[in-house]
Amino acid sequence: MKLLVVGSGGREHALAWKLANDSTTPEIFCAPGNAGTSEVAVNVPIPAEDIAGLIAWCRNNKPGLVVVGPEVPLCDGLADELAANRIRVFGPVRSAAMLEGSKAFSKDLMKAAGVPTAGFKTFDNHADALRYIRAKGAPIIVKADGLAAGKGVFVCRSSDEAEKAVEEIMTARSFGDAGNNVVVEECLEGEEVSILALVDGVNFIPLASAQDHKRVFDGDKGPNTGGMGAYSPAPVATEGLMAEVREHVFSRTLSELRKRGIVFKGVLYAGIMVTPGGIRVLEFNCRFGDPETQAIIPRIDGDLLPALMSCVEGCLTEKTIRWKSQASICVVMASGGYPGPYERNKVIAGLKDAGAMKDVTVFHAGTAPKDGNVVTSGGRVLGVTALGADLPGAIASAYRAVSVISFEGAHYRKDIGARALSRLK
């Protein structure tokens, strides 16, 4: 069977890598892919946002399944177009992807469904938003309504910070049309955890828990990024918490979607804040997380393809996925300056040495081949992932692998997994 993985990041490399090792030995293609995916798949030079180009390729090549990685093509209707052309696709249609494509839509749906979330108000006028912020005070959260590559959320510790965030989103238009509206939320305190679930339209299976590290610097300092690392499982995700997430988050959300005539098939990702007053949903995503995927996928015991096909065909069961007992951690190596401006085309050394280490896999994100070398081509460059008998062992292995990889300006957090370690003491 031919499989097409759409996207070019670390998440897509992890998916292509896992699918390439499926027992049925499918033929893997990746559009557009990166230097890492070229080792396990045939890269196709079509951007993930080029829906017409992807449809044309699929018509000519007839893949048995298309797995869509990024949120932008999903929110732009790629799954709808593939389905219209009778091409099987793992990923939600545009109406379902609105859970990620519009924070206002997502918050309104949660309110209607009784899903626990932070109090909020949506604005299409910056003056009204500023008046609300001044009345509410800080701390407070300001979010661009639309897609902003994980960078449109501002945790504001003062009213001045919040007002500047509104100006950046709505006046400076730093995120383009994603800033047509803003969502202003109460600031929740607690510990975050990422819970992803496979969904077949009716049934769902939560995947192993993970915890992302959004801030660019150690100690959760600095601006938000797309994610600087992740580990799985997250100790905060106890059996009791997972049961609560199943009942109060996934069941209620999917039921409300069905009431609205929306069928969700693919991955539903819930960003959860564990507060002293219980769980609260921070956001929904409509696809595999990045870098959570790089930490979760290596823990799957056996094939992934049957699980994806079960979602597409509507026959998902609890026995679809098995898990290894090992823990996993992914450390993101980024370009200097990220998430701000950064330079490209820096030669990366040490990839083979790191990849040869036991239970280590280096997932490429912002990489490209050039003159016989692998060079940097994005902000998040690599996701160095390691399995271990326990989390401390996985962390030690990942950082040993990181230490042998180098490129000019390389930056990475040195505390990925620290919060979990403190819970294990």
CA dist 315 and 98 (Å) reads 24
Over residues 252-270, the mean pLDDT reads 97
DSSP per position, 116-133: -B--EEEESSHHHHHHHH
pLDDT above 70 covers what percent of the chain? 100
Q: Which CATH superfamily is domain 125-180 in?
A: ATP-grasp fold, A domain (3.30.1490.20)
How much is the pLDDT for 77? 98
Span(s) in the chain for CATH 3.40.50.20: 2-93
Query: How do residues 152-177 score in pLDDT, each as one tens digit?
Result: 889 899 999 999 999 999 999 999 99
Span(s) in the chain for CATH 3.30.1490.20: 125-180
Contacts of 128 (CB under 8 A, 6+ apart): none
Do 38 and 12 touch, CB atoms closer than 8 A?
A: no
Q: Is the peptide bond between 32 and the residue preceding it cis, with omega within 30 degrees of 0?
A: yes
If DSSP codes are grouped into helix, strand and coil, which group holds residue 93? Answer: coil
Mean pLDDT of the chain: 95
Q: Is residue 18 scored above 80 in pLDDT?
A: yes
- pLDDT bin (cut points 50, 70, 90) of residue 224 is confident
Q: Please give the order of strands across the beta sheet that includes 360-364.
A: 211-212, 229-232, 327-334, 380-388, 360-364
- pLDDT bin (cut points 50, 70, 90) of residue 318 is confident
Query: How do residues 364-413 score in pLDDT, each as one tens digit?
Result: 999 999 999 999 999 999 999 999 999 999 999 999 999 999 999 999 99
- pLDDT bin (cut points 50, 70, 90) of residue 151 is confident
Q: In this structure, which CATH number among 3.90.180.10, 3.30.470.20, 3.30.420.10, 3.40.50.300 belongs to the domain 191-320?
A: 3.30.470.20
Sign for the CA dihedral angle at 52, 57, 60, 63 comes to: negative
- Amino acid letter at 92? P
Q: Is residue 223 scored above 90 in pLDDT?
A: no
Name the maximum alpha-carbon separation found in the chain. Answer: 60
pTM as predicted:
0.94
How much is the pLDDT for 425? 67
- Is the domain spanning 2-93 CATH 3.40.50.20? The answer is yes
Contacts of 172 (CB under 8 A, 6+ apart): none
CA 350 to chain centre: 26
Q: Give the class (CATH, top level) of 327-424.
A: alpha beta
CA dist 65 and 235 (Å) reads 34
